[in-house]
Amino acid sequence: MNDTKPVARQPSCADDAEAGVLSVAAALARMGADIAPVAGVEKIALRSALGRVLAGEVLSPVNVPSHTNSAMDGYALGGADLPAGGSAELAVIGTAYAGTPFPGAVAAGQCVRIMTGAMMPAGADSVVMQEHAERHGDTIRIDGGHRRGQNVRQAGEDLAAGQPALYAGQWIGPAELGLLASLGVAEVRVRRRLRVAFFSTGDELRSIGESLGEGEIYDSNRYTLHGMLTRLGVEVLDMGVVRDTPAALRTAFGEAAAMADVVITSGGVSVGEADYVRETLAELGRVDFWKIAMKPGRPLAFGRLGASTFIGLPGNPVAVMVAFYQFAQPLLRRLQGETDTDPVRFTVPCLTALKKRPGRTEYQRGVLHRDADGRLVVRTTGAQGSGILRSMSEANCFVVLGHDQGGVEPGDPVEVQPFHGLI
């Protein structure tokens, strides 16, 4: 039955098994090989520190909590007075408020009315919640079933003075701001902001507000790039659309490299003939042009332009976003000094059948939602062409199909990478 002759393998335009094609993992490793954070460090007020990256670890100057205090509203007493069985009656000798401690000491047979956060009075080591105590005038009655030390937060139990509270390279979010404030820290040492210059290349591109001639389109990549860069908290230097002439490109690359740590462009990194991007870069810097075994976002340029890092993203509007999120964003975060840059990914069932062949990584656009049973599931957004920007705007995650995996049947688990984290 098998009488087929060996046939010469037809090269296909979708074939990534060709020489010189890098896997996503190999490209990420090469890009990260000699990346060091920007050198500048500045001391800034805590209130301005949101979204910045800590330059060094922060040691707690105090114990947290600073004093042993009650975790509940109730009655503070010595553990020896907790009844093992039956019940006990205790005299209420005063009140401790948060910020206004009870000045005396609690003796055997006594207790102090205490509020959440109030300092534990001398002689007391346990708190009985008010719901578990019966108050009669100046006495309470409590039953058995309590544990010595209950409902008490010990001084330094969250963080002892001198222990690291935050680490170097940590991104400062709302929780970090609050934690630093709780330690009384008024100023923090952070990495200086990364300066990122970017422009679009392509003679077909017009800026919005200009009229479109035949075959011309509006430059959308600069807007997606502006948005993605702004959300990263970098200093954004928008250089507009640059004409595809050697003189214009030489000037733009030169200016960008002089003022920025990173230069990002979109377009002109594939094999087309009508561009001078490659030859201008070869004159001014050391840039490699890669083909990556991924879809979309196959062509990518990476290297040095003077003292700056250069990233040439592909021109197709979805490819520019995929390549930015998968390659540029982790790199920029590392340059900003962040140490924890792995994207959040998790596995959910996929409702849609997906075609895919092993040998490249695919980033399909997905909608993560709950099904009728409340299960988190994902479906794709339909047509996945790399010019269809609407597929990104309809989506809320990438469905990441790994290099070695094949197609997906409805109900199969797939890895998703949500677009929006809790930042």
Ligand X SMILES: Nc1nc2c(c(=O)[nH]1)N[C@H]1C(S)=C(S)[C@@H](COP(=O)(O)OP(=O)(O)OC[C@H]3O[C@@H](n4cnc5c(N)ncnc54)[C@H](O)[C@@H]3O)O[C@H]1N2
Minimum distance of ligand X from residue 267's CB (angstroms): 3
Place of tokens 């680490």: 167
Minimum distance of ligand MOO from residue 292's CB (angstroms): 8
Which partner, ligand MOO, ligand X, none, binds residue 169 by CB below 5 to 8 Å per kind? none
Closest chain position to ligand X (CB): 315
Place of tokens 């990260």: 32
Stretch that binds ligand X, among 73-81, 190-198, 316-324, 360-368 (CB under 6 A): 316-324
Q: What are the helix (H) ranges across 313-353? A: 317-323, 329-335
Backbone angles phi, psi at 142, to 5 degrees: -125, 150
Residues in 283-312 that interact with ligand MOO by CB under 6 A? 295-299
CA distance 293 to 415: 18
Residues in 319-358 that interact with ligand MOO by CB under 6 A? 319
CA distance 360 to 26: 12
Query: Is residue 386 a contact point for ligand X (CB under 6 A)?
Result: yes
Query: Is residue 204 a contact point for ligand X (CB under 6 A)?
Result: yes
CA distance 187 to 83: 49
Minimum distance of ligand X from residue 381's CB (angstroms): 18
Number of residues that bind ligand X (CB under 6 A): 24
Residue 229 DSSP code = H
Which x/- pattern over 221-260 shows residues binding ligand X (rule: CB under 6 A)? xx--------------------------------------
Residues in 255-314 that interact with ligand X by CB under 6 A? 266-272, 298-299, 314
Q: How do beta strands 294-295 and 361-370 pair?
A: parallel
Place of tokens 């004159």: 283
Residues in the chain: 423
Are 392 and 302 a contacting pair, CB within 8 Å? no
Query: Is residue 37 a contact point for ligand X (CB under 6 A)?
Result: no
Which x/- pattern over 365-394 shows residues binding ligand MOO (rule: CB under 6 A)? ---------------------x--------
CA distance 299 to 316: 10
Place of tokens 């009075």: 121
Contacts with ligand X, residue ranges (CB under 6 A): 200, 202, 204-205, 217, 219-222, 266-272, 298-299, 314-317, 319, 386
Residue ranges that bind ligand MOO, judged by CB under 6 A = 295-299, 314, 316, 319, 386
